């Protein structure tokens, strides 16, 4: 339960004055939340300083000034295109206030002839006259103090005015309670961080540009609050899982030896190192949660398989969960024959399995007939019971959220979890997404891989590409043709892919060209993939569905249209689909001209390296964490107060801080612990609190 002291901050935003049912959804979208607290996290990006009243001759065009004016006369506009003019006198000369589409009655009320008023707005020159067009503020001498201020400027969106934001944020600030300090006093003193309430007041009332800097102590404090909340939540869940712990899994090695004898290759050094880590985790009496990071083709599957066999050797069960139907089937097809050879039983269960096959699988998992389960998230639905599940591999490729993953790990009996990801996340981002989850990296490719020859071409070379492809398919080459994302619209994606498909069919015939896209039924998709992998198709036109898809070793050419629209990680994963066999491979990146500097640099990286980790770091450098973490591509959550570029130093501190907190006060019972609970609730990381309360 959320502590009472925080209730006002978690009131709905429409409880604030001026926010009604019409404004609520617009504002909620802008501030990424529906609660008062979300207003507090929506920080100003600029300021308007109305404190200056320079003589007119010293003003700079376009700057904001606040002036005392004496109104001399009103000149109504002669036509719609000319403004209504209010001619004024100031201490340093004449000034025109200009209004388009003016309402004379109103203007006469607020700017009566013969009176003095205070006006504030952007000053400009027009035909030798000083002029303010549509002053932002007009008031009497008595209102001077309200006018001559510094105003924060918030990131805005359609339908929400700056005034509304400023007003509701003021209201939100007034609801901020006094909270006990949760930060380590020494750390706080060293960084000169204000307390939370003062920090919020400072960031929402910037006095100068320096106050807006991410380096400002108030901003840094808030960033650290957010980072610590996240790291602490992850650390708590992890510590809890370890403690839940339980079973030491140490197989006798008999099945693993049998498998190794079946494999046509020896493990790479990286695979051996990863397995050593994994066996150690499994063999301890804590609960395992490890991330196995490795490029496409780095050999994660075999590592997962060996680890599963370790569990099965002890008489228990193992499961392998994939994010999509296709991937689950592919895993099944890869491991089933291998397991069969060494006498291990295995069944698949996905959302598509209904009726008898579903029943057989469920029964087999429950009574232990099936030692290995492969499937999609269907595997972890409530009606799926295992006789004795010891080990789960989650091949996530970024499709599952952090918390989902952690909850999954908490499910069932003492299940050790290995998460596999093919997206090489930069180190800094690994930390934010996974906390200090242990990581094994497969940073060494299996031997014998041929480098992929990557070329970058403008889109108008597409006809040359097509004629090259015509020659290639006559020699039996298989080709992926990837069509781009069009403005986040699946419908348009599809149109682009269908158009390309028709062009290629006209040239090469229906029997040669296939099409797969995200809207197809899984069954139809699989059928096309199958024809490409083992049948007559030479060209597979696809939207990005092949990203996590098939393994077709004799596909050696990949064409990617509008490559500039893809994330580098995505391009890298796509390219990983080729270069898997013995023959040399080529990747053609077609771009739509003109290409910006950053896009150019990004495609250049693709040409220069195939190292996923290097690509990921460069992408981060070029585009920033917000982009790299963009949900569409990564599924990772972005921060609201912290910036991973600007506050990366704080991230490491937060990790160590969280680790120490959990070590000294694992149930957050001490005074600082009590305060830290508030922090977790404040940043809505209460899953973590509930998690350790429940057990």
Which among 293-301, 363-371, 561-569, 591-599 is the span making contact with ligand ADP, rule CB under 6 A? Answer: 293-301
Q: What is the DSSP string of 615-656?
A: HHHHHHHHH-HHHHT-HHHH-PPPPSS--TTTTHHHHHHHHH
CA distance 62 to 121: 9
- Residue 446 or 673 with smaller CB distance to ligand ADP: 446
3-class SS letters over 296-327: CCCCHHHHHHHHHHHHHCCCCEEEEECCCHHH
Residue 425 interacts with ligand ADP (CB under 6 A): yes or no: no
What is the DSSP code (8-state) at residue 266? P
Residue 221 interacts with ligand ADP (CB under 6 A): yes or no: no
**Residue 407 site contact among ligand ADP, Mg ion, none (CB < 5 to 8 Å, cut-off depends on kind):** none
CB under 8 A, 24+ apart: contacts of 626-629 = 627/567, 628/426, 628/429, 628/567, 628/569, 629/429
Residue 446 interacts with ligand ADP (CB under 6 A): yes or no: yes
Which among 114-122, 248-256, 266-274, 295-303 is the span making contact with Mg ion, rule CB under 5 A? Answer: 295-303
- Residue 135 or 294 with smaller CB distance to ligand ADP: 294
Residue for token pair 């599809």: 494
- Residue 259 or 417 with smaller CB distance to ligand ADP: 259
Q: Which two tokens stand for residue 364?
A: 């087999």
CA distance 14 to 35: 9
Residue 298 interacts with ligand ADP (CB under 6 A): yes or no: yes
CB of 295 to ligand ADP, least distance (A): 7
Residue 296 interacts with ligand ADP (CB under 6 A): yes or no: yes
Q: Which two tokens stand for residue 496?
A: 């682009």
272 CB neighbour count, 10 Å cutoff: 14
Q: Which of 152, 297, 375, 579 binds ligand ADP (CB under 6 A)?
A: 297
Which among 266-274, 479-487, 536-544, 659-667 is the span making contact with ligand ADP, rule CB under 6 A? Answer: 266-274
**Residue 368 site contact among Mg ion, ligand ADP, none (CB < 5 to 8 Å, cut-off depends on kind):** none
Residue 572 interacts with ligand ADP (CB under 6 A): yes or no: no
Residues 301-360 within binding reach of Mg ion (CB under 5 A): 301
What is the DSSP code (8-state) at residue 412? S
Binding residues for ligand ADP, rule CB under 6 A, total: 14
Residue 271 interacts with ligand ADP (CB under 6 A): yes or no: yes
CB of 395 to Mg ion, least distance (A): 7
CA distance 420 to 249: 20
Query: Is there a contact between 612 and 574 (Cβ–Cβ < 8 Å)?
Result: no
**Residue 294 site contact among ligand ADP, Mg ion, none (CB < 5 to 8 Å, cut-off depends on kind):** ligand ADP
- Residue 299 or 484 with smaller CB distance to Mg ion: 299
CB of 302 to ligand ADP, least distance (A): 5
Helix (H, G, I), strand (E, B), or coil: what is residue 76?
coil
Closest by alpha carbon to 26, among 157, 170, 168?
A: 157
CA distance 691 to 695: 7
Q: Which two tokens stand for residue 689?
A: 């609190």
Which among 297-305, 424-432, 469-477, 505-513 is the span making contact with Mg ion, rule CB under 5 A? Answer: 297-305
Which among 55-63, 206-214, 289-297, 594-602 is the span making contact with ligand ADP, rule CB under 6 A? Answer: 289-297
CB of 526 to ligand ADP, least distance (A): 18
Q: Which of 66, 164, 169, 268 binds ligand ADP (CB under 6 A)?
A: 268
**Residue 106 site contact among Mg ion, ligand ADP, none (CB < 5 to 8 Å, cut-off depends on kind):** none
**Residue 676 site contact among ligand ADP, Mg ion, none (CB < 5 to 8 Å, cut-off depends on kind):** none
Burial class (CB within 10 angstroms; exposed 0-12, middle 13-18, buried 19+) of 80: exposed
Residue 543 interacts with ligand ADP (CB under 6 A): yes or no: no
Residue 424 interacts with ligand ADP (CB under 6 A): yes or no: no
Q: Which of 59, 120, 230, 301 binds ligand ADP (CB under 6 A)?
A: 301
Q: Which two tokens stand for residue 348?
A: 């698949």
CB of 448 to ligand ADP, least distance (A): 7
Helix (H, G, I), strand (E, B), or coil: what is residue 205?
coil
CB of 254 to ligand ADP, least distance (A): 21
Q: Which two tokens stand for residue 157?
A: 């969106």
Which among 46-54, 112-120, 294-302, 620-628 is the span making contact with ligand ADP, rule CB under 6 A? Answer: 294-302
- Residue 96 or 419 with smaller CB distance to ligand ADP: 419
**Residue 364 site contact among ligand ADP, Mg ion, none (CB < 5 to 8 Å, cut-off depends on kind):** none
317: Cβ–Cβ under 8 A, 6 or more apart, which residues? 311, 365, 368, 370, 371, 372, 373, 386, 387, 388, 389, 390, 391
- Residue 120 or 440 with smaller CB distance to Mg ion: 440
Q: Nearest-CB residue to Mg ion? A: 301
479 CB neighbour count, 10 Å cutoff: 25
CA distance 421 to 440: 11
**Residue 585 site contact among Mg ion, ligand ADP, none (CB < 5 to 8 Å, cut-off depends on kind):** none
- Residue 334 or 428 with smaller CB distance to Mg ion: 334
Which among 29-37, 98-106, 295-303, 679-687 is the span making contact with ligand ADP, rule CB under 6 A? Answer: 295-303
CA distance 36 to 31: 10
Which among 182-190, 298-306, 454-462, 596-604 is the span making contact with Mg ion, rule CB under 5 A? Answer: 298-306
**Residue 135 site contact among Mg ion, ligand ADP, none (CB < 5 to 8 Å, cut-off depends on kind):** none
- Burial string for 301-336 (b: 16+ CB within 10 Å, else e) reads bbbbbbbbbbbbbbebbbbbbbbbbbbbbbbbeebb
Q: Which of 265, 451, 476, 554 binds ligand ADP (CB under 6 A)?
A: 265
CB of 556 to ligand ADP, least distance (A): 15
- Residue 27 or 270 with smaller CB distance to Mg ion: 270
CA distance 330 to 524: 15
CB of 41 to ligand ADP, least distance (A): 38
67 CB neighbour count, 10 Å cutoff: 25
Which among 26-34, 137-145, 260-268, 386-394 is the span making contact with ligand ADP, rule CB under 6 A? Answer: 260-268
**Residue 302 site contact among ligand ADP, Mg ion, none (CB < 5 to 8 Å, cut-off depends on kind):** ligand ADP
Query: Is there a contact between 117 and 140 (Cβ–Cβ < 8 Å)?
Result: yes
- Residue 290 or 300 with smaller CB distance to ligand ADP: 300
The alpha-helical segments, DSSP class H, found in 453-584 are: 462-474, 490-508, 522-534, 568-575
Is the peptide bond preceding residue 429 cis, with omega within 30 degrees of 0? no
619 CB neighbour count, 10 Å cutoff: 23
Which among 49-57, 299-307, 585-593, 681-689 is the span making contact with Mg ion, rule CB under 5 A? Answer: 299-307
Interacting residues with Mg ion (CB under 5 A): 301
Interacting residues with ligand ADP (CB under 6 A): 265, 267-268, 271, 294, 296-302, 422, 446
């Amino acid at each position: 339960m959320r502590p009472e002291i925080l209730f006002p901050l978690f009131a709905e935003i429409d409880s604030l004055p001026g926010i009604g049912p019409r404004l609520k959804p617009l504002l909620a979208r802008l501030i990424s939340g529906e609660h008062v607290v979300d207003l507090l996290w929506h920080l100003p990006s600029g300021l308007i300083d109305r404190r200056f009243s320079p003589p007119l001759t010293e003003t700079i065009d376009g700057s904001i000034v606040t002036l005392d004016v004496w109104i001399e006369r009103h000149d109504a506009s002669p036509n719609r295109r000319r403004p209504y003019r209010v001619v004024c006198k100031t201490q340093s000369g004449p000034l025109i206030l200009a209004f388009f589409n003016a309402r004379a009655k109103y203007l006469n009320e607020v700017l009566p002839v013969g009176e003095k008023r205070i006006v504030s707005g952007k000053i400009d020159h027009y035909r030798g006259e000083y002029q303010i067009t549509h002053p932002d503020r007009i008031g009497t001498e008595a209102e001077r103090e309200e006018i001559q201020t510094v105003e924060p400027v918030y990131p805005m969106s359609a339908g929400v005015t700056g005034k509304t934001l400023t007003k509701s944020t003021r209201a939100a600030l007034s609801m901020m309670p006094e909270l006990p300090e949760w930060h380590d006093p020494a750390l706080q003193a060293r960084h000169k961080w204000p307390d939370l309430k003062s920090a919020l007041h400072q960031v929402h009332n910037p006095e100068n540009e320096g106050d807006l800097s991410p380096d400002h102590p108030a901003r840094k404090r808030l960033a650290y609050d957010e980072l610590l909340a996240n790291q602490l939540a992850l650390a708590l869940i992890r510590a809890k899982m370890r403690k839940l712990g339980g079973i030491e899994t140490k197989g006798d090695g008999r099945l693993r030896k049998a498998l190794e004898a079946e494999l046509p290759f020896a493990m790479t050094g990286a695979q051996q190192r990863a397995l050593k880590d994994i066996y150690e985790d499994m063999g301890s009496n804590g609960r395992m949660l490890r991330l196995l990071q490795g490029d496409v083709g780095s050999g994660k599957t075999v590592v997962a398989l060996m680890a599963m066999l370790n569990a099965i050797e002890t008489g228990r069960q193992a499961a392998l969960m994939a994010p999509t139907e296709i991937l689950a089937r592919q895993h099944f097809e890869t491991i089933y024959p291998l397991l069969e050879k060494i006498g291990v039983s295995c069944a698949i269960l996905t959302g598509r399995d209904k009726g008898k096959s579903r029943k057989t699988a469920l029964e087999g998992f429950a009574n232990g007939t099936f030692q290995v389960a492969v499937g999609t998230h269907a595997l972890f639905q409530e009606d799926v019971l295992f006789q004795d599940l010891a080990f789960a591999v989650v091949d996530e490729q970024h499709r599952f959220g952090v918390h989902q993953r952690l909850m999954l790990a908490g499910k069932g009996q003492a299940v050790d979890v290995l998460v596999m990801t093919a997206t090489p996340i930069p180190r800094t981002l690994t930390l934010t997404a996974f906390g200090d989850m242990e990581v094994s990296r497969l940073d060494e490719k299996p031997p014998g891989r041929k480098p992929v020859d990557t070329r970058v071409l403008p889109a108008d070379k597409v006809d040359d590409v097509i004629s090259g492809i015509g020659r290639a398919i006559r020699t039996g080459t298989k080709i992926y043709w990837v069509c781009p994302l069009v403005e986040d619209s699946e419908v348009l994606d599809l149109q682009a892919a269908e158009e390309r498909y028709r062009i290629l069919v006209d040239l090469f015939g229906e029997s040669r060209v296939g099409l797969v896209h995200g809207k197809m039924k899984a069954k139809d998709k699989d059928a096309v993939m199958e024809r490409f992998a083992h049948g007559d198709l030479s060209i597979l036109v696809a939207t990005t569905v092949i990203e996590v898809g098939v393994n077709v070793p004799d596909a050696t050419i990949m064409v990617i249209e509008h490559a500039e629209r893809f994330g580098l990680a995505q391009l890298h994963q796509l390219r990983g689909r080729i270069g898997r066999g013995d023959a040399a491979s080529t990747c053609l990146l077609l771009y739509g001209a003109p290409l910006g500097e950053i896009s150019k640099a990004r495609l250049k990286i693709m040409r220069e390296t195939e190292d996923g980790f290097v690509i990921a770091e460069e992408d981060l450098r070029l585009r920033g964490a917000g982009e790299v973490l963009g949900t569409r591509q990564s599924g990772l959550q972005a921060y609201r107060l912290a910036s991973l570029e600007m506050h990366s130093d704080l991230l490491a501190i937060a990790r160590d801080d969280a680790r120490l907190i959990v070590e000294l006060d694992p149930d957050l019972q001490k005074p600082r612990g009590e305060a830290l609970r508030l922090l977790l609730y404040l940043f809505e990381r209460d899953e973590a609190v509930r998690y350790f309360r429940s057990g």
